[in-house]
Structure 1
């Protein structure tokens, strides 16, 4: 689906192109004093209309802008991006949402500023303007080392991604620009109350977030669809909806057949009378959609992180819904990003996935780490927002994805909680055992145990899950049963996929011949025995094919 907008600014003129449709809450308002464009879904649109005692969205924007100018962005909740052009002050404000799931890119070449919601389209615009783009080799090695790009980085030299919770301020008079923050979690003070009070408060905020999401479906005249797996986050989100009389019309799961994500989610849906749709990933033929996923990820994230999602979206049958309701990043913000039960500076924990390439990017990583006081805030941006959300971008090809764990109020409360509470998901377990007991009646895919006691998290991680993998992979020789999507098994047992990858590699290796070190590194990766290394090699070639 064609989406977004592009802007080109020079000292002579400003060229704005809008590609937004009439769906969701999209609006392009042009007035004498200001222009306003918003693309996306505002979960709190109805609430804002009520608060300002207004009936239509256009009048609402005019009213809030009159009162708050560019600070109106702080009023929004949901999946959105857009811009405000203050004609009187000759300034442009381009914004993304607090979690940057709605990307915006920008650059400056030859005293011209280019802004676009699509990196692929921006690259084509630059090329058509006679500007030669080149790969950012540091970014390429960061992709190999981290599996995603950190901070503002993109695969293209001199092009940046707008950070989460920021807007880009452009001055038309001197063509200067700078990023400014409008949502800052680092300023949130530590929670001062008791743990019991925090459990009750997170229950209330989470319930409000879930209700807001589900009522948006109703506002849009559609039914509800919940993503459901064997994990905690998706089940808690769906069960909170049911507890608040917002019953999904469909629960969607995709996994290797018979794996815990399949069996656990199916049992939950059956017990609560929810229509269940399961998409089996068996065989892995979808692994051939390399270029399609690289274009969706825009070379910002390792393509295998969303390739199975693409297959599920293509195969799903249920259509009468407005949003994919998920539990995205829940375990991360409630303990997954805490390595110790105390506040500490970040390290390369969870960021580095291929240590072989760490020497190539270690200095740049150290420079990034220095900007963070806590590992939690570093990982929230660089793993949750910059890596995990690839699935959301894939879903967005069809519908927007939302998560009650990603609303501003939930994030602020989660970040404020003491690390010693959240460590090893202790607070998470306390919360659901107090306010969502039904979620603990089923095993947790991560631990293979019911999440009804703190000790089960550690015991399950270290013994149950590890033992299960050893049993299937080493003893029973059934690795297909040890993962939601056992890519390595699919590759090893499908000669068609093997031939496809070999052909793809052979046909595209020439694209990096001008970079001898990278050329040799990619060749070494591809001749490795494991699929992960081969796919890393192919991913780099796909990025070069897309842009250069």
Structure 2
């Protein structure tokens, strides 16, 4: 179980607390009525209690952090989660009871202690199957909500008030000058990447950088080697694939300690522990490879990754996408669904919808699925995201500003191929043709193939080739099929279609069944 804050307020009584940090990278400042827990960079600008009582002051923190403050005079509770929700908080409110915790397991434990019957949220279950994750603030437990990324919550007089500390929708995309854009991106990126290296040095932790063949992790690595005296890299991929080749070459050229974890033949997919890491809100395969690859690393502090750089600077932006287009782009299983309109109405903008629901609540959630370290991407820092959201659309098209930034400030980064397109990341006709080719392959050819060697982790190919994997997914389904009784609206669909689903959708079903068993029917 993760460490962090928890509490129950029932009528005039309160039971508030915080468990001790379990990771080298985490810190805790606790008093009788407050607790600040997690990983933050640099010194605090205010005393912890003052910072925790004011959402604007809490918002000055950078890093995966959570906290609460209770004022016994006004009987007011303030609850906070970090900008990208990398240190999650869940809450429940009904009648005179308000409860919160850093994990769904802990919150369910608190609710059961107060005789609350745990029931499944069928909308949440439906979204888990449809999108491989639960969108918005819902969970698999009825009445339990996520405190959304960058939000604070006040509870007093039996009322809940939610505060969006950043209001990203109000940012204006006014920066159209290339030089100004590059300077803004570079200054924010360097600041937070250097802060990661400094924090690891202060902790006495190793500087570990995840490195693939993509451009995001490459950028973080190239700034990390400038900021840290010693860097180790880790690549996890099918052996011999481009991710392996490119990351190995970069590490060799920089004379860096290189570590490689071969994901072949996919047996790591039989480890479902990530279901609990994700509180049943995300397909367990989303970070099973992270867990597997990091098992042999000691002295983990903040593990640097490049998650979401490409998405934030290019791919999440599509002003022509409406509600239906946006949902279609993230759908992994057809035939189920429901409740998405409310999520869209909360963020009726394609870019921000994807940032929150595909970025922060899905891809970036791997930040808290690592056992010993804290995974962190500088691209998800508050200041970098705000900088990116101020860039004029003309700079985002065809990755223009990203590639120009690389060329201007990290020229060595464009000397290696971009794994996704098999060419160097340089603006020009070669990259345009490579993108067109990849678009055709992705749309028409790859869906008909087994991805034998054209993927970092060819999940479907591994599944088709392995009797062990097939038996595991079949046996686990059969052993837990009775959990579907808790979600009757999905029972018939799942039973009829499970055998014909691809490996990703099978994993979503197993995530649902194991989570229902853990949280609802335990």
TM bin (shorter chain): over 0.9
Partner of 1:370, secondary structure, is helix
2:111 paired with 1:126: yes
The corresponding residue for 1:55 is none
- Provide Cα deviations, 1:176-196, integer angstroms capped at 9, x if missing partner: 222112222122222345122
User: 172, 187, 195: which one pairs with 1:189?
Assistant: 172
Alpha carbons 1:225, 1:252 under 8 Å: kept = yes
Q: CA deviation at 1:470?
A: 8.8
2:383 paired with 1:418: no
Partner of 1:223, secondary structure, is coil
User: 457, 466, 473: which one pairs with 1:501?
Assistant: 473
Work out the CA distance in 2 between the residues paired with 1:181 and 1:445: 37
Pairwise mapping of residues 55-70 of structure 1 onto structure 2 (< 5 A)? Answer: 60-61=47-48, 69-70=54-55
Work out the CA distance in 1 between the residues paired with 2:220 and 2:16: 39
Work out the CA distance in 2 between the residues paired with 1:543 and 1:287: 17
User: 340, 352, 359: which one pairs with 1:384?
Assistant: 359
Work out the CA distance in 2 between the residues paired with 1:250 and 1:321: 11
Q: CA deviation at 1:224?
A: 1.0
Residues 4, 205 of structure 1: alpha-carbon distance in 2 compared, 3 angstrom cutoff? same
Work out the CA distance in 1 between the residues paired with 2:353 and 2:328: 10
The corresponding residue for 1:369 is 344
User: 531, 542, 546: which one pairs with 2:503?
Assistant: 531
Partner of 1:479, secondary structure, is coil
Q: CA deviation at 1:36?
A: 2.6
Q: CA deviation at 1:123?
A: 1.4
Residues 37, 11 of structure 1: alpha-carbon distance in 2 compared, 3 angstrom cutoff? same
The corresponding residue for 1:177 is 160
User: 201, 206, 216: which one pairs with 2:199?
Assistant: 216
Alpha carbons 2:41, 2:62 under 8 Å: kept = yes
2:515 paired with 1:543: yes
Report the number of matched residues. 518
Q: CA deviation at 1:12?
A: 3.3
The corresponding residue for 1:233 is 216
Q: CA deviation at 1:374?
A: 2.8
The corresponding residue for 1:3 is 3
Work out the CA distance in 2 between the residues paired with 1:521 and 1:333: 35
2:248 paired with 1:263: no
Alpha carbons 1:447, 1:465 under 8 Å: kept = no
Pairwise mapping of residues 449-460 of structure 1 onto structure 2 (< 5 A)? Answer: 449-460=423-434
Partner of 2:327, secondary structure, is coil
- Computed over aligned residues only, the root mean square deviation of the Cα atoms, in angstroms, reads 2.5
Alpha carbons 1:225, 1:248 under 8 Å: kept = no
Q: CA deviation at 1:514?
A: 5.5
Alpha carbons 1:250, 1:276 under 8 Å: kept = yes
Q: CA deviation at 1:25?
A: 5.1
- Provide Cα deviations, 1:82-132, integer angstroms capped at 9, x if missing partner: 111223322111100011111111112342111111111211222232211
The corresponding residue for 1:510 is 482
Partner of 1:519, secondary structure, is helix
Q: TM-score scaled to structure 1, two decimals?
A: 0.88
Q: TM-score scaled to structure 2, two decimals?
A: 0.92
2:429 paired with 1:428: no
Residues 64, 355 of structure 1: alpha-carbon distance in 2 compared, 3 angstrom cutoff? closer
Work out the CA distance in 2 between the residues paired with 1:515 and 1:38: 37
- Provide Cα deviations, 1:366-421, integer angstroms capped at 9, x if missing partner: 333234353111110011011102322222x2111121111221111100101221
Partner of 1:94, secondary structure, is strand
2:6 paired with 1:42: no
- Provide Cα deviations, 1:416-457, integer angstroms capped at 9, x if missing partner: 101221123121111111111111111111111100124444
Q: CA deviation at 1:147?
A: 1.2
The corresponding residue for 1:275 is 257
Gap regions ≥5 residues in structure 1 = 53-59
Q: CA deviation at 1:221?
A: 2.2
Partner of 2:360, secondary structure, is helix
Bigger drift between 257-266 and 244-253 goes to 244-253
Alpha carbons 2:282, 2:511 under 8 Å: kept = no
Work out the CA distance in 2 between the residues paired with 1:16 and 1:494: 49
Q: CA deviation at 1:354?
A: 2.2
Work out the CA distance in 1 between the residues paired with 2:346 and 2:5: 31
Q: CA deviation at 1:39?
A: 1.0
Gap regions ≥5 residues in structure 2 = none
Pairwise mapping of residues 56-455 of structure 1 onto structure 2 (< 5 A)? Answer: 60-61=47-48, 69-171=54-156, 174-192=157-175, 194-242=177-225, 244-290=226-272, 292-314=273-295, 316-317=296-297, 319-339=298-318, 347-357=326-336, 360-361=337-338, 364-395=339-370, 397-455=371-429
Pairwise mapping of residues 468-507 of structure 1 onto structure 2 (< 5 A)? Answer: 479-507=451-479
Work out the CA distance in 2 between the residues paired with 1:467 and 1:347: 21
Alpha carbons 1:473, 1:482 under 8 Å: kept = no
Work out the CA distance in 2 between the residues paired with 1:140 and 1:223: 39
Residues 394, 350 of structure 1: alpha-carbon distance in 2 compared, 3 angstrom cutoff? same
Q: CA deviation at 1:283?
A: 1.3
Work out the CA distance in 2 between the residues paired with 1:157 and 1:62: 32
